Amino acid sequence: MLFSRGFSRIPRSSFNGLRRLFLSSQLEYCAYHFIHTNNPKFLPHSTHMVLSGRHDFFPGFLASLHGSRHQIHQQSSSIVEDQHDPFSLVADELSLVADRLRSMVIAEVPKLASAAEYFFKMGVEGKRFRPTVLLLMSTAVNLSVPEPPKGLGDSVTTEMRNRQQSIAEITEMIHVASLLHDDVLDDADTRRGIGSLNFVMGNKLAVLAGDFLLSRACVALASLKNTEVVSLLATVVEHLVTGETMQMTTSSGQRCSMEYYMQKTYYKTASLISNSCKAIALLAGQTEEVATLAYEYGKNLGLAYQLIDDVLDFTGTSASLGKGSLSDIRHGIVTAPILFAIEEFPQLRAVVEQGFDNPTNVDLALEYLGRSHGIQKTKELAMKHANLAAEAIDSLPENDDEDVKRSRRALVDLTQRVVKRTK
């Protein structure tokens, strides 16, 4: 959910209100979040309408990820010299996974198949982020490592790798199923720049296609014959639903509550990538300790990405406040920058509790935000989580295998690319 949103953003409209951006450092918040960050009940307070289908296609970010290599300061990693592009490391295997995904959603009913294939057909780069992370994690935690992929087929020389690739496929199916249902929920008429499925084919088919993908994901999970992994990913679906429902039914008080926000964010954004990373480690036959480190990487990477996404919704590609699409706040979704601003300007709480149906309230909130350190605090918090993700990788048991080391460097590299992006 999380990444597709970030990878699929188009500034829907630019806001002409307040543009000032104040920068400062509020490390006490990072300290606060550092203390609480390993407790799902006290996750950093950032979220995003990851299930709402409110953002459209923006192809630039992956390109910027690819293009920005060599420009990253590895602040928390001991591996500063890494020059590897995380995406090219698994490019061939990604194609294999994409092909298998398409073949997995072939149904006996052509129309259902076409519905389920809808996103997989698009070749939207955004969809590649989760599989990239999971394939890199597969190598990073593998005890025995296969030859790096040289082409289709080479990357699936081991049964274990096959099973780990299945996790990447299952994760994408769960993700796309939720997108399909989200489009229905919100009657979204666009998705990644193209008409959403419910717009093109009707709500009914979109819901059915989502159910179909969930059932295929469940069948694929069962075929792994690992009930712990089945439980992990079934729980993810529950988390996605719970998070969305929490957001949907937020009371005016809860909308300003950091704790409520933390929990919702974990459910909505971090659970999928963190638990699938953990599943990868479990299938590798790794210890619970290593599986927990994989989980921590996914959780913190996801949270970091989301926090930056929340900032970009206000700033867009520029560094100026109001240049973003402002789609969150205009949909009444209160994200990290506003929550930080409330801590500085308690009178903003009344505005937030009134809601944002009235554009005047949006302007007012942006004015408070501009006078606060909300944007900067959110960026610092994102960097804190990026660093925690990198630390989780650095804490993995030492391994001299070059492929393992290369994949771990790539995973650390990703954490920094995610927070440095400006679009």
- Chain residues in the site for its own copies (CB under 8 A): 107-109, 111-112, 178, 181, 184-186, 203-205, 207-208, 210-212, 214-216, 218-219, 221-225, 227-228, 230-231, 234-235, 237-238, 240-242, 244-246, 248-249
If DSSP codes are grouped into helix, strand and coil, which group holds residue 195? strand
CA distance 64 to 415: 14
Q: Which is nearer to its own copies, 99 or 228 (CB)?
A: 228
Q: Name the burial class of residue 400, with classes exposed (0-12), middle (13-18) and buried (19+) by CB atoms within 10 angstroms of its CB.
A: exposed
Give min distance, CB of 101 to its own copies, in A. Answer: 16
In contact, 378 and 340? CB cutoff 8 Å: yes
Rg (CA), the chain: 20
Give min distance, CB of 187 to its own copies, in A. Answer: 9
Q: Can you say how many angstroms the Cα of residue 403 is from the centroid of all Cα atoms in its chain?
A: 25
Q: Name the burial class of residue 178, with classes exposed (0-12), middle (13-18) and buried (19+) by CB atoms within 10 angstroms of its CB.
A: buried
Q: Which is nearer to its own copies, 18 or 213 (CB)?
A: 213
Give min distance, CB of 184 to its own copies, in A. Answer: 6
Give min distance, CB of 181 to its own copies, in A. Answer: 5
To 10 degrees, what angle do helices 129-141 and 159-186 make?
A: 150
* Helices and strands, counts by H and E, the chain: 21, 2
CA distance 140 to 397: 10
Sign (positive or negative) of CA dihedral 231, 236, 237, 242: positive
Give min distance, CB of 40 to its own copies, in A. Answer: 11
Q: Which helix (H) or strand (E) holds 190?
A: strand 190-191
Q: Which is nearer to its own copies, 105 or 411 (CB)?
A: 105
Give min distance, CB of 310 to its own copies, in A. Answer: 22
Question: 269: closest CA among 206, 335, 356, 342?
Answer: 335
Q: Which is nearer to its own copies, 186 or 344 (CB)?
A: 186
CA distance 267 to 77: 27
Q: Which is nearer to its own copies, 95 or 245 (CB)?
A: 245
Q: Which is nearer to its own copies, 187 or 288 (CB)?
A: 187
In contact, 136 and 127? CB cutoff 8 Å: no
Q: How many CA atoms lie within 13 A of 150 on its CB side?
A: 4
Give min distance, CB of 121 to its own copies, in A. Answer: 18
Q: Which is nearer to its own copies, 240 or 334 (CB)?
A: 240
Give min distance, CB of 360 to its own copies, in A. Answer: 27
Q: Which is nearer to its own copies, 27 or 222 (CB)?
A: 222
- Any idea what the Cα angle at residue 24 is, between residues 333 and 412, rounded to 5°? 75
Q: Which is nearer to its own copies, 172 or 244 (CB)?
A: 244
Q: Which is nearer to its own copies, 38 or 235 (CB)?
A: 235
Give min distance, CB of 388 to its own copies, in A. Answer: 25
Question: 42: closest CA among 264, 247, 250?
Answer: 264
Give min distance, CB of 110 to its own copies, in A. Answer: 8
For 194, list phi and psi in degrees, rounded to 5. -120, 165
